[in-house]
């Protein structure tokens, strides 16, 4: 197993039971708004066949379900996160075994849509994951990605960095009892923001019409690409 895969699996297995609570607390509830916005941008409807990758405890898939999408599959690396998802939503499919984004065990052209919220940053091989997304998507299928970014405005960036690197790890550690997890979060966002251009990587994976949108002073980005 790659080092990153091992580390990410350990972290999410360890914080699974505190994940939802901490997510809503540390984002002041804004995560609900981000997920709703991204699902709206994805343009899904009741005929969509959705695979939510890195589904975790299921909040993104549940947002899609609430917006009328009926046929939803989930895939995640952490069995403990999947178990919690299963306990929240009996309609979810495919959530009984661990799956990685890099090797999705579905037939080619199975889905009209793939969504990933706050997951791509954790993938151990993003190009491999995007090529696996392309295979399992139907022609004209869409990928919708929601991910953290660092704000561009200097004043807001300083404030945000202070919160993200000082306050957030303190609260995260206190509640989850996993120090590494809430040090990993700001570090991974920082590294991702510096090194990863999702538009470029999706185009290299042969996706077209890659569209990006920025939310909440640029701390979150939505990327939509078409096969």
Ligand X SMILES: C[S@@+](CC[C@H](N)C(=O)[O-])C[C@H]1O[C@@H](n2cnc3c(N)ncnc32)[C@H](O)[C@@H]1O
The residue ranges that bind ligand X (CB under 6 A) are 8, 12, 53-56, 59-60, 75-78, 81, 100-102, 117-119, 122-124
| Residue 113 burial (10 A CB sphere; 0-12, 13-18, 19+) | buried
Min dist CB 154 to ligand X, Å, is 27
Please choose, from the candidates 114, 160, 118, 161, the residue with its C-alpha nearest in 3D space to the C-alpha of residue 8: 118
Smaller CB distance to ligand X: residue 62 or 139? 62
Residue, CB closest to ligand X: 56
Min dist CB 167 to ligand X, Å, is 18
Smaller CB distance to ligand X: residue 153 or 175? 175
Min dist CB 155 to ligand X, Å, is 27
Min dist CB 77 to ligand X, Å, is 4
The pairing of beta strand 208-215 with beta strand 220-226: antiparallel
3-class DSSP assignment, residue 142:
strand
Question: Do residues 121 and 147 touch, judged by C-beta distance below 8 A?
Answer: yes
Cα–Cα dist 179/173, whole Å? 5
Smaller CB distance to ligand X: residue 177 or 209? 177
Smaller CB distance to ligand X: residue 33 or 139? 33
Min dist CB 95 to ligand X, Å, is 11
Min dist CB 4 to ligand X, Å, is 8
Phi/psi class of residue 206: alpha, beta or left (left: φ > 0; alpha: ψ in -120 to 50)? left
Cα–Cα dist 19/125, whole Å? 24
Smaller CB distance to ligand X: residue 154 or 181? 181
Min dist CB 140 to ligand X, Å, is 24
Reported as half-sphere exposure (CB side, CA atoms, 13 A), residue 60 has a value of: 30
Residue partners of 195: CB distance under 8 A and separation at least 6: none
Smaller CB distance to ligand X: residue 155 or 173? 173
Smaller CB distance to ligand X: residue 122 or 221? 122
Task: Report residue 218 as tokens.
Answer: 């640029």
Task: Report residue 26 as tokens.
Answer: 């540390």
Place of tokens 């701390």: 219
């Amino acid at each position: 197993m790659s080092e990153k895969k091992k580390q990410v699996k350990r972290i999410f297995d360890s914080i699974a039971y505190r994940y939802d609570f901490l997510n809503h607390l540390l984002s002041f509830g804004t995560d609900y708004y981000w997920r709703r916005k991204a699902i709206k941008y994805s343009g899904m409807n009741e005929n969509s066949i959705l695979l939510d990758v890195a589904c975790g405890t299921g909040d993104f898939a549940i947002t899609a379900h609430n917006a009328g999408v009926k046929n939803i599959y989930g895939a995640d690396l952490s069995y403990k996160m999947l178990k919690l998802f299963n306990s929240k939503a009996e309609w979810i499919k495919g959530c009984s075994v661990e799956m990685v984004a890099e090797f999705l065990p579905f037939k080619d052209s199975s889905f009209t849509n793939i969504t990933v919220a706050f997951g791509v940053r954790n993938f151990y091989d993003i190009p491999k994951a995007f090529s696996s997304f392309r295979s399992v998507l139907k022609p004209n299928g869409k990928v919708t990605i929601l991910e953290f970014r660092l704000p561009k405005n200097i004043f807001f960036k300083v404030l945000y960095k202070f919160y993200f690197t000082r306050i957030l790890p303190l609260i995260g550690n206190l509640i989850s009892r996993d120090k590494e997890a809430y040090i990993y979060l700001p570090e991974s966002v920082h590294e991702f923001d510096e090194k990863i251009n999702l538009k470029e990587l999706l185009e290299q994976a042969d996706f077209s019409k890659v569209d990006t949108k920025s939310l909440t002073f640029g701390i979150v980005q939505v990327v939509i690409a078409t096969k």
